[in-house]
């Protein structure tokens, strides 16, 4: 499948911004199963400086800066992606979760050594006794790792309510766990906390989810949204994605933008500015399937 993605972010300021520096994590990655065939970053007003760089996790980041007054900033990322469905997995054939944990404790190969960093705490993901206790129900002794993660994903989906009014970016995971409600970012952080508290490696994935028009209706412009899910390291298999918000293993409709330890590593846009007064932000995302390829055997 080939997809076209348009991600527009608008900032409006009550007073002029005199100086500003920003970075955008909006260019989708290229890796086995996904290829970013084209990317354009449109910025208005035109920045005095713009340049790309690659962060520690391999994500493509764009830095841009302003030195002229402006009361509005519009950042539009235009991407064209080729996405292949992931290979099917048999969760019963994955190694036991204790074995997977122990291979991360005592890594003997490069793949495990690289994954160890995702077992540690990060700014938005802490080790939580409550998260470990919640996860334990899905991780009885000897259970295959991926089967256990599938069960944990289903329990988060069932036990927690999607509520965009319940949390803000700074809401701690322990509060999400206790109140049993939140959004995709919260559920991803919660599941990562559950897994890391058990000694497993999990990372945060940001991206997009293609949505359908309502029955009998027309798909609205800007109705798609950025999304978040997780990826678990399975020794011998690599990284496997799970979406606790939708209780699924992501397929071709999940389009990856970036990954890191938590949301803080992959925030779509962040920056600092001088002036501006109060400001308001709006985001509109469109994901369109451009072409579908058929494979014959």
Residue 119 forms part of a structural domain: yes
Q: What's the confidence (pLDDT) of residue 252?
A: 85
| Together in a domain, 231 and 99 | yes
| Together in a domain, 243 and 273 | no
What percentage of the chain has pLDDT greater than the value 70?
Answer: 93
Residue 179 forms part of a structural domain: yes
How many domains does one find in the chain? 2
Q: What's the confidence (pLDDT) of residue 276?
A: 84
Question: CA–CA separation, 144 vs 153, rounded Å?
Answer: 14
- Tell me the average pLDDT of the chain: 92
Mean local confidence (pLDDT), 51-61: 96
Residue 260 forms part of a structural domain: no
Q: What's the confidence (pLDDT) of residue 102?
A: 97
Please, which pLDDT band fits residue 216 given cuts at 50, 70 and 90?
low
| Together in a domain, 122 and 58 | no
CB under 8 Å to 291, separation ≥6 — which residues?
Answer: 1, 2
Q: Taking the alpha carbons of 180, 186, 188, 193 in that order, is the dihedral positive or negative? A: negative
| Together in a domain, 106 and 168 | yes
Q: What's the confidence (pLDDT) of residue 138?
A: 98
Contact 281, 169 (CB under 8 A): no
CB under 8 Å to 34, separation ≥6 — which residues?
Answer: 28, 81, 82, 83, 84, 255, 256
Q: What's the confidence (pLDDT) of residue 220?
A: 45
| Together in a domain, 137 and 234 | yes
Contact 149, 195 (CB under 8 A): yes
| Together in a domain, 271 and 151 | no
Whether 221 has a pLDDT exceeding 70, the answer reads no
Query: By CB neighbour count within 10 A (0-12 exposed, 13-18 middle, 19+ buried), where does 129 fall?
Result: exposed
What percentage of the chain has pLDDT greater than the value 90?
Answer: 84
pLDDT per position as a tens digit, 66-91: 999 999 999 999 999 999 877 888 99
Question: CA–CA separation, 229 vs 206, rounded Å?
Answer: 7
Contact 69, 16 (CB under 8 A): yes
Residue 238 forms part of a structural domain: yes
The 10 Å CB-count burial string (b at 16+, else e) for 251-282 is: ebbbbbbbbbbbbebbbbbebebeebeeeeee
Contact 187, 156 (CB under 8 A): yes
What pTM did the predictor assign? 0.92
Whether 55 has a pLDDT exceeding 80, the answer reads yes
| Together in a domain, 157 and 224 | yes
Q: What's the confidence (pLDDT) of residue 85?
A: 79
Mean local confidence (pLDDT), 160-176: 93
Residue 261 forms part of a structural domain: no
Least reliable range by pLDDT among 70-74, 136-140, 278-282: 278-282
Question: CA–CA separation, 50 vs 65, rounded Å?
Answer: 7
Task: For residue 35, give the CATH number of its domain.
Answer: 2.60.40.2250
| Together in a domain, 97 and 231 | yes
| Together in a domain, 73 and 100 | no
Whether 135 has a pLDDT exceeding 80, the answer reads yes
Q: What's the confidence (pLDDT) of residue 217?
A: 60
Task: For residue 230, give the CATH number of its domain.
Answer: 3.10.620.30
Contact 206, 227 (CB under 8 A): yes
pLDDT per position as a tens digit, 2-38: 999 999 999 999 999 999 999 999 999 999 999 999 9
Contact 22, 271 (CB under 8 A): yes
Whether 292 has a pLDDT exceeding 80, the answer reads no
Q: Which residue from 199, 205, 195 is spatially nearest to 134, judged by alpha carbons?
A: 195
Residue 45 forms part of a structural domain: yes
Tokens 């994935």 belong to 205
| Together in a domain, 246 and 116 | yes
Q: What's the confidence (pLDDT) of residue 297?
A: 38
First to last CA, the chain: 18
Whether 295 has a pLDDT exceeding 60, the answer reads no
Contact 65, 95 (CB under 8 A): no
| Together in a domain, 130 and 207 | yes
Contact 83, 3 (CB under 8 A): yes
Domain with 270 in it: 2-82+266-291
Whether 293 has a pLDDT exceeding 60, the answer reads no
CB under 8 Å to 49, separation ≥6 — which residues?
Answer: 63, 64, 65
Residue 113 forms part of a structural domain: yes
| Together in a domain, 76 and 96 | no
Q: What's the confidence (pLDDT) of residue 226?
A: 86
Whether 211 has a pLDDT exceeding 90, the answer reads no
Residue 209 forms part of a structural domain: yes
Q: What's the confidence (pLDDT) of residue 215?
A: 63
Question: CA–CA separation, 289 vs 94, rounded Å?
Answer: 33
Q: What's the confidence (pLDDT) of residue 219?
A: 53
């Amino acid at each position: 499948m080939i997809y076209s993605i348009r991600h527009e972010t608008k900032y409006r300021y009550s007073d002029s911004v005199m100086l500003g520096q920003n970075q955008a994590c909006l260019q989708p990655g290229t890796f086995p199963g996904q290829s970013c065939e084209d990317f354009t970053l449109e910025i208005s007003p035109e920045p005095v400086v713009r340049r790309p760089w690659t962060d520690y996790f391999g994500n493509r980041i764009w830095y841009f800066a302003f030195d002229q007054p402006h009361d509005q900033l519009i950042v539009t990322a235009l991407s064209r992606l080729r996405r292949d469905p992931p290979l099917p997995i048999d969760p019963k054939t994955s190694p036991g979760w204790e074995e997977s944990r122990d291979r991360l404790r005592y890594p003997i190969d490069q793949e495990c050594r690289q994954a160890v960093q995702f077992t540690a705490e990060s700014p938005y993901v802490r080790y939580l006794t409550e998260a470990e206790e919640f996860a334990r129900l899905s991780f009885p002794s000897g259970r295959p790792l991926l089967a256990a993660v599938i069960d944990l994903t289903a329990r988060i989906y069932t036990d927690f309510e999607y509520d965009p009014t319940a949390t803000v970016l700074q809401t701690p995971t322990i509060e999400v766990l206790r109140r049993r409600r939140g959004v995709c970012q919260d559920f991803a952080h919660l599941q990562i906390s559950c897994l890391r508290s058990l000694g497993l490696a999990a990372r945060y994935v940001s991206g997009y989810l293609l949505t359908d028009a309502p029955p009998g209706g027309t798909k609205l412009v800007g109705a798609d949204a950025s999304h978040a899910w997780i990826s678990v390291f399975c020794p011998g298999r690599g990284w496997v994605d799970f979406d606790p918000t939708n209780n699924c293993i992501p397929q071709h409709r999940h389009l990856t933008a970036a990954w890191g330890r938590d949301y803080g590593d992959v925030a779509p846009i962040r920056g600092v500015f001088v002036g501006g007064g109060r400001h308001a932000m709006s985001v509109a995302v469109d994901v369109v399937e451009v072409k579908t390829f058929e494979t014959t055997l």
